[in-house]
Chain A
Amino acid sequence: MSCEIEQDLTAFLDGELPELRAKQVEAHLPGCPSCAGTLSLIRRTVLQLAALPELSPSLALRRKVMARLDEPSGLTERLRALFRPAVLMPALGMAAAASVAVVLSVGPESRLDPEQMYVAMNMEMLEDFEVVGLEPEDVEVVTHLHELEALP
């Protein structure tokens, strides 16, 4: 229904097309009312977006962020902060280390119980998640895995 030029119209308007392609689009426009119409619609819209109301972040945000900077961050740091000196099970490697750290960050006082061992054994699940850093919520997912597994 529409020509293949159509898909390049936004990039054309944004000045993001290679020179040669931009020239082709330019040459095409006078003979194609459909593309010319779409281009002017896009142009109008982009201009209109400038009229959107501005947001103002709350003043509390800065304070909250600055206050969180000293929280233990990486897994090793969290571990170090909780276990000093750290006593790890080397055979389980990073997965175990990670689960211990995360479990302890949820409840630092607790010892490893069967549920936490379960977490340790299911760490690969977390590693499959494309998470940059593990968070307490990640652990919740894993600690409730057995509920999922109970399903047929």
Chain B
Amino acid sequence: MYRLTGVTKRYTRGKETVEALRGVDLTIADGDQLVIQGPTGGGKSTLLQMIGGLDRPTEGSVELDGVDLARIGETRLTRVRAENIGIIFQSFNLIPTLTAQENVETALVPLGVKPAERRERAAEALRSVGLGERLGHAPSEMSGGQQQRVAIARALVKKPKVLLADEPTGNLDEGTRDDIMALLEGLWREHGLTFVMVTHDSSIARRAPRLATIAAGRLTLTEQQPYGVGAYDGQIAH
């Protein structure tokens, strides 16, 4: 359960100050899905960083299950990220020198999981995203869609409460996009994750149960009727 209150983020560079978020209030229930949309530079990624504990707001609080991520110390915040938050990125962010399996293992390193168990869980996670045959491949030996699957396996291998995604399909073609979205939908339901996703893609945004639009740092919420379960499994209606 997330509760964001009056979240403001200012970036200061020299004399210039950019207000990326202006007093954002937001509540996300456990197991909810929220899609964030908006013009470029509107503050989508900034908001996602606040939710994921990757950065702290200048003002306001970001409570996850009653713990204010804006106030806790660096060590605790790191721990929260390691245990509770799975994150995937537009450009996959795999470690280029590590194999698929090793990349997934990196998520278990801060949790102190023993190497043998780490390898087993990583292999299992890769199988669950359909990459059971690609454990030893380097990122450069895989397609964009496969790389994003590795990233999804890495985000979920630790069994987090929250899954965050910043334009996860931004670098993929349409067919691959649908595959990935279907995979994410399935995993979200299967694991009961709280799922927050930033996207530019209006066809994805259209079917989200809950849509937030953020422009110039201000957030507006729209509740909408989703197209229905398994929408990504078939053709996307326009």
A and B form one complex: no
